[in-house]
Structures are given as C-alpha cells and as structure tokens.
Amino acid sequence: MATYSTNEFRSGLKILIDGDPCIIVENEFVKPGKGQAFNRVRIRNLKTGRVVDKTYKSGDSVEAADVIDTEMQYLYADGEFWHFMVPDTFEQYAADSNAVTDARQWLKEQDVCQVTLWNNSPLTVTPPNFVELRIVETDPGVRGDTAQGGVKPAKLETGAVVKVPLFIEEGEIIKVDTRNGEYVSRVKE
C-alpha cells in the first residue's frame, strides 16, 4: 500500500486514518523557533463527513486511501438512493444520502458527476461546477425596480433556491455555480 510523507500533504489528498478514507481539507506547515517542525492538518472523514484537526511530526507518513474518482452519469433517485451509471461499462451504483449530501439540489437526470468509490461503494458525489436548470417558481420583477440591481429568490426544477436578478422570469433556464450556489447567467434556448 502506498504511503504519503508529511512533505507531500496538500489539500485534496486522500489518506487512510483508523481504517476510514479521509480527505485533507487544509494543511499548514509549522516551523517553530525551537523544536521539531510539524504539519497541522484539517481532515474530513469521507464516510461520516466529520472534520477533525490532527498534528503530524515532520517526517511521519500516512497510508494512502485506495479510493477511485470516476465520472458517472446520474440516472434517477428512488427516495432512498441516488442511482449513477458508468457511461463506458454501464455499471450502476446506488449512493445514499451521506454520499450525495448537498449535491442533491443540483442533480438533474443525465448530468455527469464525479463520484468517489471506496470498496466499490460511492463515498462522495460532486456535481459539475456549472449546471443549467429551469426556473419553476419566482416572483415577477417589478418594472422600474432595478436602480440598485436587486435580486429575488427563484426555485429551480431540482428544488434548489437561488437568488437571481429581477429581470429573470419563470420558465427561463439559468446557469448556476454549484460550488457556491450563485446565479451565473441566462442560457439561450
């Protein structure tokens, strides 16, 4: 099994801690004036989602997590599981709510997502950075109410609510950044 030394730590690195796959969220190298250098690391457990802070002495090594990141197509949700398929092999995987987390509000059928597998089961689902979704419900913009460039809430076809400019109307398709949930632009049909 591969191992990583503390000088190889960086954000996004997947490691194994106490038998659970984890991802490094933050890594800070600290060289005190006196004593040995160390790494202060913030780690998120990929199974439970719990975030913990750990300290490693310089030169320590940690086992690499045997996880696979793969592109999968979102098929459907049956209430309990979200179903994904590998486009090349047509293999299907069912992810539970712990794996899908906040990505569920951006998932539209046929979208391609990044799915992290561990022991052949989905750990995390990452939606595409930008999605195009139809607005199903929003208040009409009031004419002349645009001097300040205001925003209003809009409900999307997936159930997510985003703030959109006043000129956006119901039925339009908009582009949304899934990383921060913000409106990006209107999409021409």
pTM over 0.85: no
Please give the CATH superfamily to which domain 130-186 belongs. Nucleic acid-binding proteins (2.40.50.140)
pLDDT, one tens digit per residue, over 27-41 is 999 999 888 999 999
Which fold does the domain 67-126 belong to in CATH? OB fold (Dihydrolipoamide Acetyltransferase, E2P) (2.40.50)
pLDDT, one tens digit per residue, over 91-145 is 999 998 888 888 889 998 999 999 999 888 898 899 999 999 999 998 886 666 5
Q: Which H helix or E strand runs over 137?
A: strand 130-138
CA-CA distance, 48 to 93, in Å (whole number)? 19
Give CATH 2.40.50.140 domain extents, the chain.
67-126, 130-186
